[in-house]
């Protein structure tokens, strides 16, 4: 009985580790997407400034 409980506990730990790993990968992907979006926004702001548009006066649109 104790052997079965230990085996079940090991399986639970293994599943928890897999879930943690998946969550870590998802967080990493989200971080990369946010970084890419920030870079695109910075490039757009730079381009607008090149065109003489003050990016501080453009109203912000919340999506």
Structure tokens at 2: 């104790």
Backbone angles phi, psi at 6, to 5 degrees: -65, -40
Domain ranges for the chain? 19-52
> What's the pTM?
0.67
Q: What ranges in 1-63 are assigned the alpha helix state H?
A: 2-50
Question: What is the predicted pLDDT for the residue at 58?
Answer: 82
Q: What is the mean pLDDT of residues 37-55?
A: 94
- Determine the Cα–Cα distance for residues 57 and 53; give it in Å rounded to an integer: 8
Q: What is the mean pLDDT of residues 55-59?
A: 85
Report whether 22 contacts 32 (CB < 8 A): no
């Amino acid at each position: 009985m104790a052997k079965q409980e230990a085996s079940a506990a090991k399986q639970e730990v293994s599943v928890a580790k897999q879930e943690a790993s998946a969550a870590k990968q998802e967080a990493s992907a989200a971080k990369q997407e946010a970084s890419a979006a920030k870079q695109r926004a910075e490039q757009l702001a730079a381009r607008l400034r090149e065109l003489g548009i003050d990016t501080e006066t453009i109203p912000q649109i919340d999506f």
